[in-house]
Amino acid sequence: MSWTEDVPECVDDYLTFLEVLKGYSSATIDAYGNDLLQFQHVLQAKKMSLDAPETINRTHVLAFLANLHRQGLGKSSVARKLSSLRGFFRYLIRQKILTHDPCSEVHNPKQPQPQPTFLNVDQAFSLLEARVDPGPRELRDLALGELLYGSGLRISEALGLDACDFDPARQTLRIMGKGKAERVAPLTGISIQRLQKYLDQRACFHPAATEPALFLGMRGKRLQRRQANRIIDSLSALAGLPQHISPHALRHSFASHLLSSGADLRSVQELLGHVRLSTTQRYTHLQMNELMRVYDSAHPRSTVNKDRNRVALESLKPEEKH
């Protein structure tokens, strides 16, 4: 981690704690460090510093959030920076440097709850059955798409797979999910076929003997997220789908289609690797929205159809109304 300016000693200690004891990635540590340095700049304008954390109170945290709001930062970004401050002050309390958390009475900005984008069954099948030449790269692309939809993987989980995580005998994958939580994901028959066909051609990417990654880029190294986004976008275009499709949309489609077919919420939660059931419940809202749409478009007494029925009734001859 490289900084262009000095960081307060307590911040440096905290970031070292995250790196050594918590095992956080360098990108995460950099993000936390940058958030704390932003807060430090706001404090310095008030002749204060994180080097004297006992002088910081709720008012200073609120001033920092107000400053972020004036900069036009989105609510999710503000919430993330507030989370960085919370983690830092809790660390100081555990180290007995502080006795009170200045963030304890500061609430996260209320977040909008956008519904996840998903494909209908026909669209998902069209994307995964796109006609492509059966070369190594195309076999890789179809195997990746099939995993995202067939097993509901996060794109980070799929790209983090090693070849040894695939167990064709048990028809499963070993997945390392969020927070290093490990789970086993079942595979569809088509996923197994496509993975085996791709693995037969994996050497064509010329990986180093020590490269463990399942999915490889053209340079023989682990496939990156940006490349994966382009792959799904390309399959979407080949299938003639009008909208941009992200890898995560295939995961959403997996969950939505399982629930539509009668799968119980707990099972879907387990398959998705969600810690909280409330996260999975977002998909039940999708099902209810679709049910309401069908109801409104089809039921003769629905709100949507009242005007349509009145017009139809008024068009009848007097003797036909009875």
151 and 268 assigned to the same domain: yes
Total-model pTM: 0.56
Q: Which domain holds residue 72?
A: 9-94
Does 252 have pLDDT greater than 70?
yes
| Cβ atoms of 273 and 178 closer than 8 Å | yes
pLDDT, tens digit, 9 for 90 and up, residues 208-222: 999 999 999 999 999
Residue 176 pLDDT class (50, 70, 90 cuts):
confident
Does 4 have pLDDT greater than 50?
no
Tell me whether residue 320 is in a domain: no
Region 172-195 average pLDDT:
87
Tell me whether residue 106 is in a domain: no
Question: What's residue 184's pLDDT?
Answer: 87
| Cβ atoms of 179 and 274 closer than 8 Å | no
Question: What's residue 1's pLDDT?
Answer: 45
CATH number, position 84: 1.10.150
What is the C-alpha separation between 30 and 272, in angstroms, rounded?
29
User: Judging by beta carbons within 10 Å of its beta carbon (0-12, 13-18, 19+), is residue 134 exposed, middle or buried?
Assistant: exposed
Active site residues: 154, 178, 248, 251, 274, 283
Alpha-carbon torsion (117, 118, 120, 126), positive or negative:
positive
129 and 266 assigned to the same domain: yes
Tell me whether residue 74 is in a domain: yes
- Which residue type sits at 86? R
User: Judging by beta carbons within 10 Å of its beta carbon (0-12, 13-18, 19+), is residue 4 exposed, middle or buried?
Assistant: exposed
Tell me whether residue 107 is in a domain: no
- Token digits of residue 247: 């890898």
Does 12 have pLDDT greater than 50?
yes
- Token digits of residue 112: 């909008």
66 and 145 assigned to the same domain: no
Write the CB contacts of 55 (distance below 8 Å, at least 6 apart in sequence).
Answer: 48
Q: Phi and psi for 280 in degrees, rounded to 5?
A: -70, -30
CATH number, position 200: 1.10.443.10
pLDDT, tens digit, 9 for 90 and up, residues 261-314: 777 777 878 788 776 766 666 666 555 565 566 556 655 555 555 455 444 445
∠ at Cα 217 (211, 219), nearest 5°? 75
144 and 55 assigned to the same domain: no
21 and 64 assigned to the same domain: yes
| Cβ atoms of 15 and 21 closer than 8 Å | no
- Which residue type sits at 56? I
Q: DSSP characters for 7-58?
A: --HHHHHHHHHHHHTS---HHHHHHHHHHHHHHHHHHHTTT--TTSGGG--H
Question: What's residue 110's pLDDT?
Answer: 74
pLDDT, tens digit, 9 for 90 and up, residues 255-265: 888 877 777 77
Chain-centre distance of CA 206, in angstroms? 31
What is the C-alpha separation between 141 and 139, in angstroms, rounded?
5
Does 123 have pLDDT greater than 80?
yes
Structurally, the chain folds into a number of domains equal to 3
69 and 181 assigned to the same domain: no
Does 316 have pLDDT greater than 70?
no
- Looking at per-residue pLDDT, the higher value among 185 and 283 belongs to 185
Does 96 have pLDDT greater than 70?
yes
What is the C-alpha separation between 56 and 248, in angstroms, rounded?
40
131 and 264 assigned to the same domain: yes
Tell me whether residue 100 is in a domain: no
Tell me whether residue 103 is in a domain: no
